[in-house]
Chains A and B, each alone.
Chain A
Amino acid sequence: MSGATYRISRDDRSFRQRLFEPPAVGKMSLLANLVASAILLFWSLFVLFPIYWVVITAFKNAETVNNGPFFIPFVDFQPTLKGWTAQFATDPYCDAYSVGRQLFLLVYNLFAFILSPIVKIEKMEPQICKVYLAYTNSFVISFGATALCIAVGSMAAYALARISYKPRFGNIVVFVLLALSAIVASNYFEVHWAISSSVALALFYLLARSLGRRFKSTLGNDDILFWIVSQRILPPIVVIIPVYMMFQSVGMIDTHLALIIVYAVANLPIVVWLMHDFFANLPVELEESAQLDGSSRFEIFWDIVLPLTRPGLAATTLLTLILNWNEYLFAIFLTTARAQTMPIMVAAKNTGERGILWWEMCAIIMIMIIPVIIMAVVLQRYIAKGVLLGGVKG
């Protein structure tokens, strides 16, 4: 050590010191850094391996799957496109024309549905192979549900952040009692559901108008927010049977609209919770000055508030889109053929006489998860900036 006085301080330390002691405050020692990197690398392998295995299995065939594990394409085994062609080649309706027809069908059937109370239009039947059908369905349903959910949810979140509501406790009790009596009437006294529910709604309107003023105790915005957000606790299985019955009674089983509505409601709590946080953190002054200038609340919301929360809105939209894309339980109950989404179609591949054909399965899983991975990488940018994490800290 005596001859080392002219050296820079870093080399002054013995190997032991360099290994165990951090070079400076806020840095890590060499050993700690090595251990940390090793653990993180190991975890990366654990995260990547299932994805890697799905990807390479998608390019195998029966022989290379069954004859033991082969890990590296071109070295261990020769990749084939068998799993991919099997999705498309066997079915006669797997061409661009069928996809175009399906897209037209979606628009046409939407019009047919909207006009159905007025004029009777025959709906078109899908004529397309299963992969394309499920894929277009998944796109339509997840985008539609996301749009509905974000529109409804962000409006409610904004209202809860800015307008003060005072629902009377008594009115809520009246509503619940009337809803229960409507259920009892339609179930046990053979009253048609449309009649019982409209009578109950009319009664509620009258009672809320007349009796409502006498109820003194009111709830606040926080209660409404908690009520909406707490719906996330509700397990979907609890609501699914009545929801199924409701859609069946209006003939909406196996339609896109049914799934869009149900998905939107399932994700509404998340959207309201996240968006409420963004809106509550905006400065009120901007909106107040706009209000003085004579803008209506909708104009303020659309022109000022929404652009200000654009990163949050984008991140919430992506998250909702991914959740909708991945949804499985509602889709099992509410679809049979025409509105099948990707997860349902993939799950249906499970039943084969020769067991699961893994190469086909992996190809279809890849088709299913590629959009999600792209969206997840984009979403991660927002999350790294801390956009979505405000709510958790509250």
Chain B
Amino acid sequence: MSNGTTVSQPGITPAGLSWGESWGEWFDRHSRTFFIAPAVTLVLLFAIFPTFYTIVFAISHVRFSATGLKFRTVWFENFAAQFTGNEQVHFLGRFTSMSIAGSVFSLVTAGALLWWLYRAVVKGATWIGLAGRLISAAMAMFIALLFAATLLSGNQWGTLLNTLFYVVVGCSIQFVIGLMLAFLCSQPVIGKNFFRVLFFIPLMITPLGVGYAFKMILDVTKGPFKPFWQLVGLGNWAWSTDAWAARWFVILGDSWQWIPFIFIVLLAALENVPKDHVEAAQVDGASGFQIFREITWPQILPVAATVMLIRMIEAFKIVDLPNIMTAGGPGIATESMTLHSVFLWRANDMGDSAAVAYLLLILTVVVCSSFFNYVVLKRLRRARA
């Protein structure tokens, strides 16, 4: 402050501060604010504020009028419509009575979850930890029941399980193949650097282009595998009308794109594993598999858990591939929740669209934070201990 008063009398100030310099000093004094304020403002304005605002849409029936949008508050009607109302078939799937396999599966899952909670209580978890486990367990039980009531009872499932299918099955496949390729590339093979560059490229190609490329390649009548399809007697097979084929082909395209991500990160982790540990084990006569399980795997586990978390977060947002390859079809068989929300928005049904988007947010947050808390953090702690 003392500087401010002296600057107002030019010529007297010993340091000779001009107006510009004093302004610069003021700027510098508040630099703590100026450094972080733009980022915080942008995130508040374009991420936090819209997230809150979406609630308004999700609890209203929105209709267009001459003066703009008209909101009629219906509270949880939009959410209820997804679970029990007319959107149920789209979001959750079709239900009939539960089959025996479904009942057994639900009972086993319930037992496993109860055992997991019981162990947490016995080990003396904190109240917050316990509440978190209860939420995770409730979500897991709901998904298990849904799975049992739809697929295991021979019914079609909805966009919720589609999204989870892409996340769980897609990410698992990608992880296994990515790990295998990274392991091979970390060995002294010929042309290692060439493979590195090549395997990285699909990750960066526009997902939309990947969708079209796979749609074209998988075309039974014009695509490159036409002779193969004819050989196996599927010359006229329209896979886009077969729900499971379409789902697996979407996963194929997604894997082509995302295996490089897992590959590149795990390769870096594998190369950080100290060579002398591995070589000492080799001298002791350990087999390749033993070395991997006992030495390499524990060392890359923290990175592997983190990379899976990032991959899962991105997988929940999947929209381009199903939109391009199948447009969500046949029916809703390949529709992810994001695509579901986009379609509802196109139909000017903003309330339901926002409700589905919010359910996706809840699903993503619960699944990802469960994964983070029970898998990633545990591994990190174990690695540090």
Contact = CB atoms under 8 A, between A and B. Distances in A.
Contact of B189 (A26, A28, A188): A28
Interface in A370-391: 372-373, 375-377, 379-380, 383-384, 386, 389
Contacts of B306: 392-394
Nearest to B196: A384
Interface string A32-48: 11001101100110111
B164 interface: no
Interface string B11-50: 0000000000000110110011011101110110011111
Interface residues of B, number: 104
Nearest to B302: A393
Contacts of B31: 296-298
A393 B360 contact: no
Given A50-B214, A234-B361, A238-B358, A43 B181 contact: yes
A26 B338 contact: no
B35 A159 contact: yes
Nearest to A184: B56
B319 interface: yes
Interface in A1-34: 22, 25-28, 32-33
Contacts of B272: 393
B201 A377 contact: yes
A155 interface: yes
B1 interface: no
Nearest to A347: B208
A159 B36 contact: yes
Interface string B176-207: 00001100110111110101111111111111
A152 interface: yes
Nearest to B32: A163
B329 to A, nearest CB: 13
Given A28-B189, A241-B350, A373-B201, A152 B42 contact: yes
A51 B213 contact: yes
B interface majority secondary structure = helix
B301 to A, nearest CB: 12
A interface majority secondary structure = helix
B313 interface: yes
Nearest to B62: A241
Nearest to A319: B204
Contacts of A373: 201, 204-205
Nearest to A70: B224
Contacts of A328: 206-208, 319-320
Given A28-B189, A40-B181, A386-B268, A347 B324 contact: yes
A235 interface: yes
Interface in A290-324: 296-298, 301, 322
B43 to A, nearest CB: 6
A358 interface: yes
A51 to B, nearest CB: 7
Contacts of A144: none
Nearest to A346: B208
Interface stretch (B138-146, B147-155, B275-283): B275-283
Given A328-B207, A328-B208, A383-B200, A36 B46 contact: no
Given A228-B39, A393-B302, A237 B342 contact: yes
Nearest to A299: B28
Contact of B338 (A235, A262, A296): A235
Nearest to A343: B208
Interface in A198-232: 224, 227-228, 231-232
Contacts of B222: 65-66, 68-69, 358
A376 B42 contact: no
Contacts of A343: 206, 208, 320
A262 B46 contact: yes
B135 to A, nearest CB: 16
Given A25-B283, A187-B71, A246 B50 contact: yes
Contacts of B54: 238-239, 241-242
A268 B44 CA distance: 12
A199 B65 CA distance: 27
B94 interface: no
A191 interface: no
A242 B217 contact: no
B61 interface: no
Nearest to B53: A242
Nearest to B57: A241
A163 B195 CA distance: 42
B352 to A, nearest CB: 11
B139 to A, nearest CB: 15
Interface in B254-286: 256, 264-265, 268-269, 272, 275, 278-279, 282-283
Given A49-B224, A234-B47, A242-B53, 20 more contacts: A44-B195, A47-B202, A48-B198, A50-B256, A53-B224, A68-B226, A69-B227, A183-B53, A235-B360, A239-B50, A242-B50, A268-B39, A272-B39, A296-B24, A329-B342, A332-B342, A346-B209, A369-B209, A375-B204, A377-B201
Interface of B: 24-25, 27-28, 31-32, 34-36, 38-40, 42-43, 46-54, 56-57, 69, 71, 73, 180-181, 184-185, 187-191, 193, 195-210, 212-214, 216-217, 222-227, 256, 264-265, 268-269, 272, 275, 278-279, 282-283, 288, 302-303, 306-307, 310, 313, 316-317, 319-320, 323-324, 337-338, 341-342, 345, 350, 353-354, 357-358, 360-361, 364-365, 368
| Minimum-distance CB pairs A-B, first 10 | A156-B39, A159-B35, A376-B204, A242-B53, A242-B50, A239-B50, A296-B28, A297-B31, A265-B46, A50-B213
19 contacts: A25-B279, A27-B188, A28-B187, A36-B187, A50-B210, A50-B213, A179-B49, A183-B52, A183-B56, A224-B40, A237-B338, A238-B358, A265-B47, A296-B31, A325-B206, A332-B342, A365-B209, A376-B204, A379-B204
